[in-house]
A and B are shown apart, each in its own frame.
Chain A
Amino acid sequence: MDLKLQGALAAVVGEENVLADTLGRRLYEYDGGVDRALPDLVVFPQTRDEVVAIVKAARAHGAPIIARGAGTGLSGGAIAREGGVVLSLNRMRRVLEVDTELGRAVVEPGVVNLEFSTSIAATGFYFAPDPSSQRACTIGGNAAENSGGPHTLLHGVTVNHVLGLEVVLASGEVARLSVDDGGWDLTGLMVGSEGTLGIITAITIKLTRRAESVATLLAIYNDVGQAADTVSAITACGITPAALEMMDGFSLRAIEAATHAGYPLDSAAVLLIEVEGLREETEEDAERIREACVQAGAREVRLAANEAERELLWKGRKTAFGAMGRISPNNYVMDGVIPRTQIKRVLERIEEIGARHGFPVGNMFHAGDGNLHPLVFFDERAGELPRALAASREILAACVEAGGSITGEHGVGIEKQDLMPLIFSDDDLDFMRRMRRAFDPDGGLNPNKMIPAFHACTEIRADAALYREGL
């Protein structure tokens, strides 16, 4: 480890805000995903100026810099894959400004998503992106990963809610970006760049007014295919629900054990559907959706009678990922995207792939926008991880083949880096490499993430061809 760098960082933030011991560093070798790597140092800045000084010091010592929020990410974005300095931004948690007249707020990156919305609840506004980890994840992390969530179906993902950014570049310069500026949308480029183009130190976010009325329905099916058909049927009615979630029977049973939300244990699948808007409109939409569900074969459709019932239904959905710890020692969650018209066919394909590899696969996902989250259940202690990853890759290849993509909202990170050639050509990837170099010529910001090394591409495509042949 670089003692000089440690000293330089301690001079910036104080010794107590730098972790260099084994215990401390090991506690930053993981995030919410499956990859692990030990950082050399962990540093906790509290101001933008400290971030600037840290970036300059790390770059001067040739150490990589990895920004981290709450560490709830699922693609390894916050993992120090090449060693270096983990920049933990969770102590920068001040809300700098709330302007309800302009409908915007300025927050530091460590502000927790749900806590922010709760703190301004009295104003009638909230921050719309609602990833399932929103109780813990930070708005800085949301911006870096361009996070989604169930309600992005209506409201859009994080990039649609970021109006401006303050970013510390690899050079240590501070850039202030705004969607109101003319020219290229650099704010949009920065959102979802996963810490590879700069370190976000402040975010200007759009505030969304709470809808006058919300209706939440739970449609219960004895057949997964019928639930899948309903998704297209609802959009065919011309209604865009705020959220349209699907959970299969397998996932449901684990979730129910965790939250007692009243999900039916004997069903094959449920849809959790929410509409919001003006009262009359909501009531009418809810009724039409109910009809569409019944027509597609739902055995029962329940309407949440009050806010408590509504919250309970959502609590089940939002804690679903963690609840899977109840049914299997390990699980691997994917983030594939497919056209929503293909849901039924792709789900069958996923089940077939899982069965062939000997793993049960659960599904709970954002059906409305075709963002699948298949979960492969395995046991790491039995040495099943490599096989589970192989099955997962095959599933993602199937998504791409169906006209979709490898990621909807979890980011690329380490996890999907070498799957990028499935959706991008060599030229595309080379363009991305050059774009990245323009911001970070030395490649010190979150190195070896997102964009695969040049030589990997041919191999991956060859593998994918094999998957297609079902080998």
Chain B
Amino acid sequence: MVTAVSKAGLLDLRAGDVERCVRCGLCLNACPTFRVLGEEMDSPRGRIYQVELADRGELAIEGDFTLHMDRCLDCRACVSACPSGVPYGAIIERTRVATARPSWLERFLLERVLPYPARVRRAAGLLRFYQRSGLQAVARRSGLLEWMGLAEAEGLSPVIAGGESYDGEVTGPVRARVAFFPGCAQRVLLPELNAATVRVLRRQGCDVTVIEEMGCCGALHVHSGMREFARALARENVVKLEAALASVDAVVVNAAGCGATLKEYADLFEGEPEWEARAQRVARKINDVTEFLDDLGPRTELLGPLPVTATYQDPCHLAHGQGIRNAPRALLATIPSLELREMERSDQCCGSAGTYNLKQPEIARALLADRLNVIAASGAEIVVTANPGCQMQLASALPGRVFHVVELLDASHRARPR
């Protein structure tokens, strides 16, 4: 007998997810790839239909099917737009288990480097040596990068700064005890962001410990269809988070993509009720830094003026993934003299999307170009966002003009005359 939870299909989907789509099409214009490509195959409704057909064996899980699945940003804009509550993220992430063909480089970085903080530091050291020694110039001239399929990645690789360090002091009475999750790549790509996050939290009266021993959260693995590996990472991280949570009130994250993944850990443990429950308990304590500070209520007397006009780019995994739109804006509003000028469609993906800008450079460039247009139209001098990936993508076109919300709070603290 066929029961409601049977998984007769070819893809490892959760029963009922795909069926929830009534094909009303309200998601279409919210989807960045549909906006760029204008084809049903690259819309959420169309992708869900393709998944449904492939699951039933009516479409081969290869070729164009894979192409359209790969082109999805997993930005979840469709989830915000969907009235029917289709869990699109789960559908695409589970489908990718069958379609993903990670390159050797991706596999190496995701499985061998990112999960280990020490290796991330060593890799960064190598990259830094490469950039500074003159090797970079040689490689770029040689054509070797093109041959290895690395030109896009190499071109986008940010200049690697020195190592991470944390400073700052707790001001006034301790208002909360938190553990900060420093992420993986951002420790070396944006060490200043992590330092600023800890400084701001301390200044605002938080006793902060850094969960140094925690590596990658698994977001990139989930998005790339490496679900099994993500599950293994999640298991380790749940244990580490439980240990950290023994002595703090909350875990604070400054990367929206990581925060969304940590909050969704339970989805990885379907069929393992014990782990599912543990993941859920941990998830309740995960806070995006903007969410946390807004809830805490920033002590505005510590903030000095920043006379600047700013526009805010919603990170997909904050706005669509975690439903956090007001907190970052509310925090910006507390900074004296800062004027917020909204851009059009501020919650549309900038094209960064984890490693998307490396894998689908053309679409990513089109999305970035659209952002640059609306940013320019807003008339703002600087762009503020709340996720390292978005920050780096936007900064690749607007160097020196893109900041994380906490970096502005940090600057505002410093601007306060003492």
Q: Mark A residues whose CB is within 8 Å of B.
A: 19, 21-24, 26-28, 30-32, 44, 70-72, 88, 90-91, 112, 115, 118, 133, 135-137, 257-259, 319-326, 329-331
Contact = CB atoms under 8 A, between A and B. Distances in A.
A323 B84 contact: yes
Pick the 6 closest A-B CB pairs, nearest first: A325-B84, A322-B83, A319-B83, A72-B25, A27-B40, A322-B24
A258 B81 contact: no
Given A26-B53, A27-B40, A326-B20, A70 B83 contact: no
A193 B165 CA distance: 68
Nearest to A138: B29
A90 B59 CA distance: 25
A11 to B, nearest CB: 20
A258 B85 CA distance: 7
B27 interface: yes
13 contacts: A23-B59, A24-B39, A24-B41, A27-B50, A72-B24, A72-B26, A90-B38, A133-B24, A257-B85, A319-B83, A321-B24, A323-B83, A323-B84
Contacts of A325: 20-22, 83-86
A71 B40 contact: yes
A359 B84 CA distance: 20
B206 to A, nearest CB: 30
Contacts of A21: 64
Nearest to B37: A91
A136 B21 contact: no
Contacts of B86: 325
Contact of A70 (B28, B39, B49, B344): B28
A90 to B, nearest CB: 5
A133 B25 contact: yes
Contacts of B41: 23-24, 27
B350 interface: no
Nearest to A327: B84
Contacts of B46: 27
Nearest to B28: A136
A135 B34 CA distance: 14
Contacts of A28: 40
B50 A23 contact: yes
A69 B46 CA distance: 15
Given A23-B41, A44-B39, A323-B83, 12 more contacts: A21-B64, A26-B49, A26-B53, A71-B28, A71-B40, A72-B28, A90-B38, A320-B83, A322-B24, A325-B85, A329-B19, A331-B22
A342 to B, nearest CB: 29
| Interface hub of B28, B46, B64 (most chain A Cβ within 10 A) | B28
Nearest to B25: A72
Given A27-B46, A321-B24, A259 B83 contact: yes
Contacts of B21: 325
A28 B38 CA distance: 13
Contacts of B22: 321-322, 324-325, 330-331
Nearest to B22: A325
A136 B21 CA distance: 16
Contact of A136 (B19, B29, B85): B29
B82 interface: yes
Nearest to B47: A27
